[in-house]
């Protein structure tokens, strides 16, 4: 009989978690194992597979302190229906390889869902950018106004980053999608099993070639946590900007994503963005639990990177999912104050780099000298408490620069500043349209890749669930 403390602190919570999150993967793994055993001639394995397909459609038994875990619940139930089938199923099977298979299947599903949500966020960003190719904003560096650009340029930069995150997720998925089944406890088995067949049935790419590695490794879980950390960190930075813009009235969320105040009637708090930021912070916090559970522990089958790691992983997936969903909803229909942003660009000093460029082109003095002259001019304006839109030709002549009025106005025009930035990746609308076309094409390829994998994994699940199957007696 188990100690009450161990029951309450470990066995019952593990049973509850597995019942809520892991049962489909448990039945998939056991059914695939049974079908493989039947294919190599193990007697009664086919009956085990049919009964498992039937048992998974029945309500799963509640927690019983006399039964250690969900595996033994299934084992006991199968034995009550057909002892030879239960005996066959236990051939070349350990909870060591079974558990790691279940965890990989669960991670595969959650990673595929996370990928789909990131793809939807990318689609939302690109649709937003399509509408804002000509919307002028002031970009900041070191928390100070820097240069004019477009909102589309910013949004496409974020989508570019998420496209790399998407590739990281696909690459992590390739290392998750490997089969531990057949490793048994750690040394394999003397039975003539077919590990490739089991991997194929479960939709895995292939078996893990070393059986010790199959039951011991946690690198794939740490990698998944690291990918979520990278993506969450990027999105938290974007949220910082969105909240900054919202605080200055440059961006407003639709009514269903803001909250008012019980005291201040004017308040429209962008709470969806705040909650998204918190979600990503919590996701990153959970990833540290995952990483630390694998730190400084033996390289073998142990609980730290096994069952004890699964709840933090689940919380990580949930927080990340909710953060991405909140962010996607927030970016679908925001209100952009284009006039206010344009006013900031015209009145501020962000276009001043182009004046130095214009002086360089006009005089041939070199950008270093032109930069110094413009710096002197700015200092003069600051001393006189003037803005750059008050600059005159006389001011320029005072620093030894002779350009026309048209050249001065063009140099200080934010729209012309942007239109001249036609280098690869620049914000000029002529360049941005092509960049957006490429981004849409890349996104569609990623959606197609995801769809192909989804079809493969769903077909595997459908085969293992079985279209029919006999019902347990009395079921």
Alpha-carbon dihedral 336, 338, 340, 345, rounded to 10 degrees: 130
**Alpha carbon of residue 433 to chain centroid:** 26
CA angle 446, 103, 70 (to 5 degrees): 140
Q: Please report the pLDDT score of residue 469 as a whole number.
A: 40
Q: Name the band, by pLDDT with cuts 50, 70 and 90, for residue 470.
A: very low
Tally of CB atoms within 10 A around 348: 17
d(CA 324, CA 431): 29
Beta bridge partners of 138: 148
pLDDT tens by residue, 11-47: 999 999 999 999 999 999 999 999 999 999 999 999 9
Mean pLDDT throughout 166-188?
97
Number of helices and strands (H, E) in the chain? 20, 4
Cα separation, 91 vs 184, in Å, equals 9
Q: How much is the pLDDT for 467?
A: 43
At 110-134, the pLDDT tens digits run 999 999 999 999 999 999 999 999 9
> Tens of pLDDT along 441-458?
999 999 999 999 999 999
Q: What 3-state DSSP class applies to 412? A: coil
pLDDT at 341 over 80: yes
Separation of alpha carbons 159 and 161, rounded Å: 5
Q: Is the dihedral of CA 211, 212, 216, 218 positive or negative?
A: negative
Instruction: Mean pLDDT check: name the lowest of 31-35, 174-178, 405-409.
Output: 405-409
Q: Identify the pLDDT of residue 268.
A: 86
Give residue for tokens 């200092």: 379
What is the spatial distance between Cα 334 and Cα 325, in angstroms, rounded to a whole number? 15
- Integer CA distances (angstroms), 473 to 30, 81, 207, in order: 20, 7, 35
Q: What is the pLDDT of residues 299-317, one digit of tens each?
A: 888 888 888 889 999 999 9
Please tell me the predicted confidence (pLDDT) of residue 108.
98
**Could you give the CA distance from residue 343 to residue 322 in angstroms, rounded to a whole number?**
36
Work out the widest C-alpha separation in the chain, in whole angstroms: 100
At residue 164, does pLDDT exceed 80?
yes
Residue 468's pLDDT band (cuts 50, 70, 90): very low
pLDDT tens figures, 260-296: 877 887 878 899 999 999 999 999 999 999 999 888 8
Mean pLDDT, all residues of the chain: 93
pLDDT at 240: 96
The C-alpha atoms of residue 112 and residue 174 are separated, in whole angstroms, by: 11
Between residues 324 and 408, the one the model is more confident about: 324
Angle of helix 219-247 relative to helix 95-131, nearest 10 degrees, comes to 30
Whole-angstrom distance, CA of residue 473 vs CA of residue 164: 52
Whether the pLDDT of residue 472 is over 50: the answer is: no
Asked if pLDDT for residue 418 goes beyond 50, the answer is yes
Please tell me the least confidently modeled range out of 129-133, 198-202, 355-359.
Answer: 355-359
Quick one: tokens of 414? 């934010």
Q: What are the backbone dihedrals phi and psi of residue 251, each rounded to the nearest 5 degrees, phi first?
A: -145, 140
Beta bridge partners of 136: 150
At 359-405, the pLDDT tens digits run: 898 888 899 988 998 898 889 989 999 988 888 899 888 888 888 88
Residue 139 has phi, psi (to 5 degrees) of -85, 145
Tokens for 397, please give them. Answer: 């002549």
Mean pLDDT of 133-149: 92
| Interatomic CA distance for residues 188 and 388, integer angstroms | 76
The CA distance from 170 to 187, in Å, is 30
pLDDT of res. 304 = 86
Confidence of residue 471 (pLDDT cuts 50, 70, 90): very low
Helices 151-176 and 219-247, axial angle in degrees (round to 10): 160
């Amino acid at each position: 009989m188990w100690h009450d403390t161990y029951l309450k602190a470990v066995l019952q919570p593990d049973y509850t978690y597995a019942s809520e999150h892991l049962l489909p993967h448990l039945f998939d793994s056991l059914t695939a194992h049974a079908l493989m055993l039947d294919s190599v001639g193990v007697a009664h394995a086919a009956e085990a597979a049919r009964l498992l397909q039937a048992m998974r459609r029945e309500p799963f038994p509640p927690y019983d302190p006399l039964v250690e875990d969900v595996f033994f619940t299934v084992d006991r139930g199968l034995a009550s229906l057909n002892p030879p089938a239960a005996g066959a199923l236990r051939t070349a099977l350990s909870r060591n390889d079974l558990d790691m298979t279940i965890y990989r299947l669960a991670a595969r599903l959650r990673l595929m869902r996370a990928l789909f949500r990131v793809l939807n966020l990318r689609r939302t960003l690109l649709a937003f950018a399509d509408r804002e190719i000509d919307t002028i904003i002031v970009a900041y560096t070191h928390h100070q106004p820097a240069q004019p650009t477009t909102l589309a340029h910013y949004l496409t930069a974020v989508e570019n980053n998420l496209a790399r995150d998407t590739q990281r997720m696909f690459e992590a998925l390739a290392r998750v999608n490997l089969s531990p089944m057949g490793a048994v406890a750690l040394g394999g088995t003397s039975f003539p099993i077919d590990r490739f067949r089991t991997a194929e049935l479960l939709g895995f790419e292939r078996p893990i070639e070393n059986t010790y590695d199959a039951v011991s490794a946690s690198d794939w879980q740490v990698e998944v946590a690291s990918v979520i950390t990278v993506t969450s960190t990027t999105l938290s930075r974007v949220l910082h900007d969105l909240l900054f813009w919202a605080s200055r009235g440059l961006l407003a969320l639709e009514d269903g994503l803001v909250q008012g105040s019980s005291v201040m009637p004017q308040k429209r708090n962008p709470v969806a963005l705040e909650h998204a930021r918190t979600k990503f912070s919590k996701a990153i916090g959970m990833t540290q639990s995952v990483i630390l559970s694998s730190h400084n522990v033996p390289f073998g089958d142990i609980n730290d990177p096994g069952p004890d790691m699964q709840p933090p992983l689940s919380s990580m997936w949930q927080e990340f999912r909710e953060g991405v969903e909140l962010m996607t909803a927030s970016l679908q229909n925001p209100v952009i104050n284009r006039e206010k942003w344009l006013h900031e660009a015209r009145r501020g000093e962000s276009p001043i780099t182009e004046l130095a460029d214009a002086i360089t082109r006009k005089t041939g003095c070199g950008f270093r000298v032109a930069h110094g002259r413009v710096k002197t001019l700015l200092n003069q304006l600051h001393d006189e408490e003037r803005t750059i839109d008050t600059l005159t030709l006389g001011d320029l002549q005072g620093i030894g620069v002779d350009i026309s009025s048209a050249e001065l106005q063009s140099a200080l025009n934010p729209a012309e500043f942007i239109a001249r930035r036609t280098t690869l990746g620049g914000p000029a609308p002529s360049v941005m349209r092509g960049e957006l076309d490429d981004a849409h094409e890349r996104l569609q390829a990623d959606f197609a890749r995801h769809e192909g994998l989804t079809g493969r994994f769903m077909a595997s699940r459908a085969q293992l669930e079985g279209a029919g199957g006999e019902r347990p007696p009395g079921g």
